[in-house]
Structure 1
Amino acid sequence: MDLCFDFVNNSCLRTNRAPANYSVMFIAMFGAIILTTVGNLLVIISISHFRQLHYPTNFLILSLATADFLIGLVVMPYSMVRSLTSCWYFGDLFCKVHSCLDMTLCTGSIYHLFFISVDRYYAVCHPLHYYKNLTTNVIELFLLTTWSVSCVFSFGLVFSNVHTEGIQDYITSYYCIGSCSLTLNKLWGTISSLICFFIPGALMIGIYMHIFSVARNQAKLVHNHHSFQPDKSKSKISVRAERKAAKTLSIVMGVFLFCWLPFFILTVIDPYINFSVPEDLYNVFLWLGYFNSALNPIIYALFYPWFQKAFACIISGNILKAGSSFSQLLTGV
């Protein structure tokens, strides 16, 4: 029987895993960390360096990439050690700080996705008023709301200990030296899931469904208009654009729901089943949510040709050349 801390009374038990299982888990988690940090760092460098990318919409993507980068840098490595060993070696205070950072950055990432959907709504549904409504000041308000709500809620919840009311006896019964878990009672398990995921997620789904409906109707109007024209090339282009929009929105929502929905469903139901969810299942759903931060650069950056050009410039080393910040990455701007 292995302990997290030898010769320490009331030490937690260390989980013994078969070498093959340990290796697979380590490779998957370490790979997710590398993908998250490197992918989001490329987005941060791209938007920060290239002057042509300095416009309000990209500031949302820059802030999203920063949140996801920090998840990969300061949250996931410690969670990896805990998931592999079931032990926490970094002290009780940092356990709370880590829980706060985890909740803050993951919630912030979700809120960024929501505000990006708001940005896309105005771009597609109200294109004539887009630049008037989505100004730099509005984007700054979005970012202030995202970071302040995420920080205040997360740190306030963890350090106030309101989430432990009514379950103190249960927490005391399983506590041991080397444990670090954020256990939420029924009330706060539901409230936190609503605030951090279900409310912004439901709004985001509604927005994207409306965007898709508007884009489809616009494509049909264009198709009908050009069906009476000898040259139907434009209508064919509109049909391709509709299909591309449908594919992109399907990927955005599918990945988001696939990554985060299982974890937050688990967060809601676990207090109602006497916290009987297996630890390994919890870790699988947690890391599935983390993996969304690794996929965000691909979904929100690599789908755009100008980001692909920026990445190529960074990887090739051309970014180090004088005047590279003035490179033309956008066409028609």
Structure 2
Amino acid sequence: MSGNWSPPAAGQLCYNVNGSCVKMPYSPAPRVLLYTVFGFGVVLAIFGNLLVMISILHFRQLHSPTNFLIASLAGADFLVGATVMPFSMVRSVESCWYFGRSFCTLHTCCDVAFCYSSLFHLCFISIDRYIAVTDPLVYPTKFTVSVSGICIGISWILPLVYSGAVFYTGAYDDGLEELSSAVNCIGGCQTVVNQNWVLIDFLSFFVPTLVMIILYGNIFLVARQQAQKIENIGSKAQSSSESYKARVAKRERKAAKILGITVIAFMISWLPYSIDSLIDAYMGFITPAYIYEICVWCAYYNSAMNPLIYALFYPWFKKAIKVIVSGQVLKNSSATMNLFSEQM
């Protein structure tokens, strides 16, 4: 694979002007392959997350605090697919940035903001699931729609303010101005981040991830205990109250399991990039270009993975897709359709 990623010797410029970056084009076969792979990720991220948002926002049965968080998470992933990935795809394959310096800064700002927004959403979802599994009967009064709205607001505002403050003030490359100027020739859009901000970025990724690991670890311990209790009383006559508690606990455990898979997928996708960025900043930016691109696109592809996870594990999402694609969603009565084949 490294053979396909290694471009041939440079012999062209991105622009026929002084100070232009050197263009290192791929041969036709790898070029087509890369556009196909990256383009598939873009299409999946855009249309997959769009289906998730339409499903949750249109069907009243899906209106819940957790699902609103999932819809907002899908919105962040949709924006990664619509505003970040297409331009990164051209840059990665053509090895040139053709969209202007101002848009380069905006692109970088959006990249960081939307990706951190996804991380914050997942962190709040893990808190939501922890409360739902550990105290399922009290959960509806603790995590309401208004609380979900506050979590959504924080998940959008903080990343946008952070990325804007860092990249529009130029604080990210303090002390690396010469290297930044050399990398960002005409036709280039590479962000060189100093050690301080790389460490802050890594901690901003690591701390919420650690919180999610701890919460989901506790979730599955509690879920295991609940399953054992249900199994122990299974052969005994249950009161209606005990039966209801068992059904609620089972439903919340299943939801936590599916969203736990989403969190694991996020960590696997983003860990290589986060570790590489940290090591690279302290080792003098020695990472080969193709290794960096692989790490970046592994992270980007996470925005396309969540709809696939929902499609595999959520029967309601499969049914919602059929209704949307077939055009039945345009009917007035579609919003009140029953998407659940059985009560869990």
TM-score normalised by structure 1 residue count? 0.91
Q: Give the counterpart letter for 1:56 in structure 2.
A: P
Which deviations, in whole Å up to 9, do the C-alpha atoms of 1:159-179 show, x marking residues without a partner? 111111111122233331011
Partner of 1:205: 213
Q: Which residue of 2 aligns with 1:32?
A: 41
Identity of aligned residues (%): 44
Which residue of 198, 215, 221 maps to 2:229?
221
Unaligned 5+ segments in structure 2 are 1-10, 238-242
Pairing 1:325–2:335 present: yes
In structure 1, the residue matched to 2:89 is: 80
How many angstroms does 1:257 deviate by? 1.9
Instruction: Report Cα offsets for 1:113-142 as digits up to 9, x if no partner.
Output: 111111111111111211011011211110
Offset of residue 43 of structure 1: 0.8
Other-structure match for 1:107? 116
Q: Map of 1:297-316 to 2, 5 A cutoff?
A: 297-300=307-310, 302-316=312-326
Q: Distance in 1 between matches of 2:50 and 2:114?
A: 16
Identify which of 274, 293, 302 aligns with 1:292. Answer: 302
Q: Look up the match of 1:130.
A: 139
Q: For the Cα contact (< 8 Å) 1:190–1:267, is it kept in 2?
A: no
Q: Specify the alignment match of 1:150 in structure 2.
A: 159
2:62 aligned partner: 53
Query: How big is the shift at 1:325?
Result: 1.3
CA separation of 1:46 and 1:228: change in aligned 2, threshold 3 A: closer
| Cα distance change of structure 1 residues 324 and 247 upon mapping to structure 2, 3 Å threshold | closer
Per-residue deviation, 1:256: 1.8
CA deviation vs aligned residue, 1:49-96 (integer Å, no higher than 9, x gap) = 112222222110111111111111111000001111111111111100
Instruction: Give the total of aligned pairs.
Output: 325
Give the letter for the 2:106 counterpart: V
Give the C-alpha shift of residue 246 in structure 1.
Answer: 9.0
Tell which deviates more after alignment, 129-138 or 162-171: 162-171
- Inter-partner Cα distance in structure 2 for 1:264 and 1:174: 21
Q: What CA distance in whole angstroms lies between the structure 1 residues aligned with 2:327 and 2:302? A: 28
In structure 2, distance between residues paired with 1:273 and 1:161: 22
Q: Which of 22, 41, 54 is the matching residue for 2:31?
A: 22
Question: Aligned pair 1:92/2:93, yes or no?
Answer: no
CA distance in 1, matches of 2:21, 2:196: 28
Q: Deviations over 1:204-260 (max 9, x none)?
A: 11111110110011111222233567xxxx9xx99x999968964663343122101
SS across alignment from 1:119: helix
Contact 1:61–1:300 at 8 Å: present in 2 too?
no
1:318 counterpart letter in structure 2 = Q
Match of 1:180 among 149, 168, 189: 189
**1:2 correspondence with 2:12:** yes
C-alpha contact (below 8 Å) 2:25/2:95 kept by paired residues? no
Q: How does 1:254-293 map to 2 (within 5 A)?
A: 254-293=264-303
Contact 1:15 1:84 (8 Å CA) reproduced: no
Task: Out of 13-22 and 258-267, give the one that drifted further.
Answer: 13-22
C-alpha distance in 1 between matches for 2:95 and 2:270: 22
How far apart are 1:26 and its partner, in Å? Answer: 0.9
Deviation at 1:29, TM superposition (A): 0.1
Distance in 2 (CA, whole Å) between partners of 1:139 and 1:323 is 27
Helix, strand or coil at the partner of 1:179: coil
- The runs of 5 or more residues in structure 1 that have no matched partner are none
Q: Is the 8 A contact 2:328 2:334 kept in 1?
A: yes
- Counterpart contact for 2:56–2:71, Cα < 8 Å: yes
> So what's the TM-score if we normalise by structure 2?
0.88
Name which of structure 1's ranges 130-139 and 246-255 shifts more when overlaid on structure 2: 246-255
Alignment partners' CA distance in 2, 1:149 and 1:14:
37
Counterpart contact for 1:115–1:142, Cα < 8 Å: yes
